[in-house]
Structure 1
Amino acid sequence: MKNRNLYSIINGVLLVLILITIGLIGFTLYKPSQKASQSDKVKMSQTDKTEEDSSESSETSESSSESINPSQLMPGTNHNYHADSYAYSTSEIRSYMDGTATTDQKIVFLTFDDGPDTVITPQILDVLAQYQVPATFFLVGNNVTDETKSIIERQISEGHAIAAHSMSHNFNLLYPNRVGNTDQIVYEATQTQAVLKTYLGDDFQTNVFRYPGGHMSWTGLENADASLANLGISWMDWNTLAGDAEPLSKRPTTSEAMMQYIQSSTQYFHDTPIKVLLMHDIVGKELTLQTLPQIIQYYKDQGYTFGVLE
Structure 2
Amino acid sequence: MKKSFEIIGKNRKALNLCLIITNLAVLAILGFVLFQHQNSKVNRMVKTPKNEQVSKGSSSSSKEAKKEAKKEDKTQLKKGSNHSIEASDYAYDVTAVNNTIRGKSDDVKGKVVFLTFDDGIDPTLTPQVMDILKEYGVHATFFHIGYTITPENGDILKRQITEGHAIANHSLSHNFNLLYPGRVPNQSQIVSEVNQTMANFQAILGKDFKTRIFRYPGGHMSWQGLESTDHALAKEDIQWIDWNMLCGDAEPLSVRPTTSESMMAYMDGSQKYFPETTVKVVLMHDTAGKELTVQTLPQIIEYFKNQGYTFGVLE
Same structural fold, with TM-score higher than 0.5 when normalized by the shorter chain:
yes
Cα deviation for residue 295 of structure 1 reads: 0.2
In structure 1, distance between residues paired with 2:92 and 2:313: 6
Which aligned pairs between 1:23-102 and structure 2 lie closer than 5 A? 66=70, 69-102=73-106
Q: CA deviation at 1:230?
A: 0.3
Instruction: Tell me if 1:146 matches 2:151.
Output: yes
Per the alignment, residue 226 of structure 2 pairs with 221
- Secondary structure of 1:283's match? coil
Alignment of structure 1 residues 176-187 onto 2, 5 Å: 176-187=181-192
Question: 1:68, 1:244 → 2: CA distance?
Answer: 36
SS in 1 for 2:254: coil
1:196 corresponding residue in structure 2: 201
The alpha carbon displacement at 1:237 in A equals: 0.3
Q: Which amino acid aligns with 1:167?
A: L
2:168 counterpart of 1:163: yes
SS at match of 1:148: helix
The equivalent residue for 1:20 is none
Letter in 1 for 2:111: K
**In structure 2, which of residues 202, 211, 215 is the aligned counterpart of residue 206 of structure 1?**
211
Match of 1:173 in 2: 178
Shift of residue 286 of structure 1?
0.3
For residue 117 of structure 1, what is the aligned residue in structure 2? 122
Q: Which residue among 139, 142, 145 is the counterpart of 1:137?
A: 142
CA distance in 2, matches of 1:67, 1:290: 33
Give deviations 1:17-75, integer Å, cap 9, x for gaps. Answer: xxxxxxxxxxxxxxxxxxxxxxxxxxxxxxxxxxxxxx99xx69x66983761110110
Deviation at 1:215, TM superposition (A): 0.2
The structure 2 residue matched to 1:267, chosen from 242, 266, 272, is 272
> What is the distance in 1 between the residues matched to 2:67 and 2:174?
45
Quote the offset at 1:138 in angstroms: 0.1
User: What CA distance in whole angstroms lies between the structure 2 residues aligned with 1:96 and 1:105?
Assistant: 11
Moved over 2 A (4+): 62-68
- Counterpart CA distance in 1 for 2:259 and 2:211 is 34
Within 2, Cα distance between the matches of 1:269 and 1:83?
28
The separation in 1 between residues aligned to 2:187 and 2:68, in whole angstroms, is 44
Tell me how far apart the structure 2 counterparts of residues 153 and 228 of structure 1 sit (CA, whole Å).
26
Q: 2: distance between equivalents of 1:215 and 1:260?
A: 24
Displacement of 1:293 in angstroms is 0.2
Percent identical among aligned pairs is 56
Please identify the structure whose Cα radius of gyration is greater: 2
Q: CA deviation at 1:77?
A: 0.3
Which residue number in structure 1 is paired with residue 46 of structure 2? none
Partner of 1:305: 310
2-side partners of 1:68 and 1:295: how far apart?
Answer: 30
Q: What is the 5 A alignment of 1:231-310?
A: 231-310=236-315
Query: Is the alpha carbon distance of 1:64 and 1:232 closer, same or farther for their aligned partners in structure 2, counting shifts above 3 Å?
Result: farther
Q: Relative to 1, partners in 2 of residues 1:64 and 1:231: Cα closer, same or farther, differing over 3 Å?
A: farther
TM-score (norm 2): 0.78
Name the SS of the counterpart of 1:147 in structure 2: helix
Residue 14 (structure 1) aligns with: none
Deviation at 1:197, TM superposition (A): 0.2
Instruction: Please state how far the C-alpha of 1:227 moved relative to its aligned partner.
Output: 0.5
Distance across 2 between alignment mates of 1:199 and 1:74:
15
SS in 2 for 1:248: coil
Partner letter of residue 261 of structure 2?
A: E
The Cα shift of 1:161 comes to 0.3
Q: Distance in 2 between the 1:65 and 1:118 partners? A: 30
Q: How far off is 1:239 after superposition?
A: 0.4
Q: Aligned partners of 1:125, 1:98: CA distance in 2, in Å?
A: 28
Q: Which digits, 9 at most, give the CA deviation of each residue in 1:157-176, with x for residues without a partner? A: 10000000000000011011
- Deviation track 1:75-107 (CA, whole Å, cap 9, x = no partner) reads 000000110000000000011011111254100
Per the TM alignment, residue 304 of structure 1 is displaced from its structure 2 partner at its CA by: 0.2
